[in-house]
Structure 1
Amino acid sequence: MHPSTIPGTEGYAENAGQLIARYASVNFPDKYRPVSHLLPTRSGAVLDIGAGTGGDAAWLASLGHTVTAVEPVAAFREAGMKAQVVANLEWVDDSLPALSAIGARQSRYDLIVVAAVWMHLAAEERMAAMGNISTLLKPGAMLIMSLRHGPAPEGRRVFDVPASETADLAMQHQLKVMLHTQAPSVQPQNRLAGVSWSWLVFEK
């Protein structure tokens, strides 16, 4: 059982209805365009951490991957299970930094995605999380991360996390930087508010 509020999820359950509708409008090829040329072309095992309502996970599954979607917010997970009826997509109730349920499986992944999640973790949580993520990657596998920059929505727990800090932390865990780039938000509301994203790709 999770506590009522998992650190980093503040403000999400309370605004789930509005956010579910917004997430449904995202065009995922556009969202992942900054890193799409590095996505694996061969089918593999993918872990999407902080999957929200599963749009990213379902899109990755449509490319032929077997995807495990990790989401601690029950409202998002339930909406995703209804909206994303895909045979090669599994949902798991788990969260960073520990990822205890996923870790207990002792599975390893070809690709791990941590999109729009990392900036919700405090510094000590990010340190623990990176180590746990690294152990879940197969040799030669990739980690894709996106970091939000700009004004934080009211009621959310958001930290200003530099891409350089994230890259340094990843390298401490034997991950090599393949790409670091910037992109505007694909959501018009966020773009108008001045939100942009750092995209980082690492290889183990």
Structure 2
Amino acid sequence: MSTTGNPQLIVQPPLNGADPLSLAAYNQNFENFRALNALMWQIPLIAMTLTGGLWFGVSSVSKESGLSLLRIALLGVAAVGDLLLILVLERLRHIIGEYLSWLENAYPRGYVAATGTRWFNSSKSVKFSFQLMLGFAAAVSFVLLFQMMLTKSDTDPAKATPKAVVAWYDAHAREIADSYEGLDAADTHPELFRMIGSAKGLNILDVGSGTGRDAAALAQRGHQVTAVDPSSAMLRVARALHPGNNVRWMSDVMPALGKVIGTYDVVLLSAVWMHVPPADRRASFSRLLDLTAPGGRIYMTLRLGPGDVDRAMWSTSADEVVKLATQRGAKVTDLGRKPDLLGRDGISWQTLVVTRGD
């Protein structure tokens, strides 16, 4: 390997094997070279661990968590970290070159130069390859960083459209199924199953049925279930996941729910109300009460926390539901709050039961 070093480090004359001090210096410098060379080969592993861990951290922080600045900071650290490792490699390879020059002059007869004649086998091709990889990783981090900074993080639902929620669920149906179907319906809605108790043959309407997890669980307990969802992709997934259940699957949307007929003992709205625009909530709630049999109940969960503009989420509150129910002479029972079962930051759920009068 051909290198140029600092002339002050050149040993003249070559190593004298009879001199204990010269031999000790040679051995020490050789061990230092080996340690530095091993360290240089560990730089890619360090880079992959650093960059991969930070990218994973970015993907783990959802947009709806309200921690957009943390995502930007993690990408910034990844980009700057890779650039700094490029400088570390440059300095490390320079020091290694100095040791090689010293060793070559100390013992020319035992030195293996391994000088390459092509660009791909030159003495610094390994360093350049590592630096190219680090530069590419830094560039990716910077592109993602700038894209995130330029993308509007405004979650003002007034800038979203109700159709956005259907488009989002159509695009992410399989992904949602993987997470939602991993949760048992009875564990997710223990209040609902306690409310129903040992009753059999209830007529139940599941509005925004999603993957069909809750509808299928209720049907297995002997109830007549109609499951409604506006997303055709979600309905296909639900039918595929629960083919043997006595569930009537239907495509429909609030506030009209024009395809739904009759009345129901229980109307279920699980993680749905936040998708209903405020302007449509009075009509939607009135329609839900019309579909509820006298003395029947609406079981609904309210999402509390930051919204997600991609899924057209609007804020919800129990006070709003109480006001809408009072206008129709219905009673609202607050069953309390609980944390998000999927572990999303800043998200919790409030469960309400609306009882229709006679």
Q: Do they superpose with TM above 0.5?
A: yes
Are 1:142 and 2:328 an aligned pair? no
Q: Choose from 95, 107, 116 the match for 2:271.
A: 116
Q: 1:26 to 1:87 in 2, by over 3 A?
A: closer
**Counterpart residue identity of residue 83, structure 1:** L
**In 2, distance between residues paired with 1:168 and 1:63?**
33
Write the mapping of 1:62-73 to structure 2, written as runs, cut at 5 A.
Answer: 62-73=220-231
**In 2, distance between residues paired with 1:181 and 1:95?**
28
Match of 1:201 in 2: 353
Q: Deviations over 1:105-127 (max 9, x none)?
A: 3x110000011000111112111
Cα contact 2:204–2:267 (8 A) shared by 1? yes
SS of equivalent residue, structure 1 residue 155 = helix
Match of 2:243 in 1: 85
Q: Deviations over 1:51-74 (max 9, x none)?
A: 001001011111211100001101
**In 2, distance between residues paired with 1:40 and 1:99?**
28
Q: 10-19 or 141-150: which moved more? A: 10-19
**Counterpart residue identity of residue 251, structure 2:** D
**In 2, distance between residues paired with 1:15 and 1:157?**
14
Q: 1:151 to 1:78 in 2, by over 3 A?
A: same
Work out the percentage of aligned pairs sharing the same amino acid. 31
The offset of 1:99, in angstroms, is 0.3
Higher helix share: 2
Match of 2:184 in 1: 27
SS of equivalent residue, structure 1 residue 100 = coil
Q: 48-57 or 14-23: which moved more? A: 14-23
Structure 1 residue ranges, 4+ long, deviating more than 6 angstroms after superposition: none
The offset of 1:37, in angstroms, is 2.4
Cα contact 1:177–1:202 (8 A) shared by 2? yes
**Counterpart residue identity of residue 16, structure 1:** A
**Counterpart residue identity of residue 28, structure 1:** A
**In 1, distance between residues paired with 2:221 and 2:323?**
31
Q: Choose from 8, 12, 17 the match for 2:174.
A: 17
**Counterpart residue identity of residue 290, structure 2:** T
Q: Deviations over 1:48-97 (max 9, x none)?
A: 00000100101111121110000110111001111112342110110111
SS of equivalent residue, structure 1 residue 9 = helix
Cα contact 1:13–1:75 (8 A) shared by 2? yes
May I ask how many residue pairs the two structures share in their alignment?
A: 194
Match of 1:51 in 2: 209
Q: 75-84 or 34-43: which moved more? A: 34-43
**Counterpart residue identity of residue 190, structure 2:** R
Q: 1:38 to 1:136 in 2, by over 3 A?
A: same
**In 2, distance between residues paired with 1:196 and 1:158?**
14
**In 2, distance between residues paired with 1:142 and 1:79?**
28
More relative contact order, 1 or 2 (CA 8 Å, 6+ apart): 1
Cα contact 1:34–1:181 (8 A) shared by 2? no
Match of 2:333 in 1: 178
SS of equivalent residue, structure 1 residue 99 = coil
Q: 11-20 or 119-128: which moved more? A: 11-20
**TM-score, length-scaled by structure 1:** 0.88
Considering only CA atoms, is the larger Rg found in Structure 1 or Structure 2? 2
Cα contact 2:337–2:350 (8 A) shared by 1? yes
**TM-score, length-scaled by structure 2:** 0.52
The offset of 1:141, in angstroms, is 0.6
Superposition CA RMSD, Å: 1.7
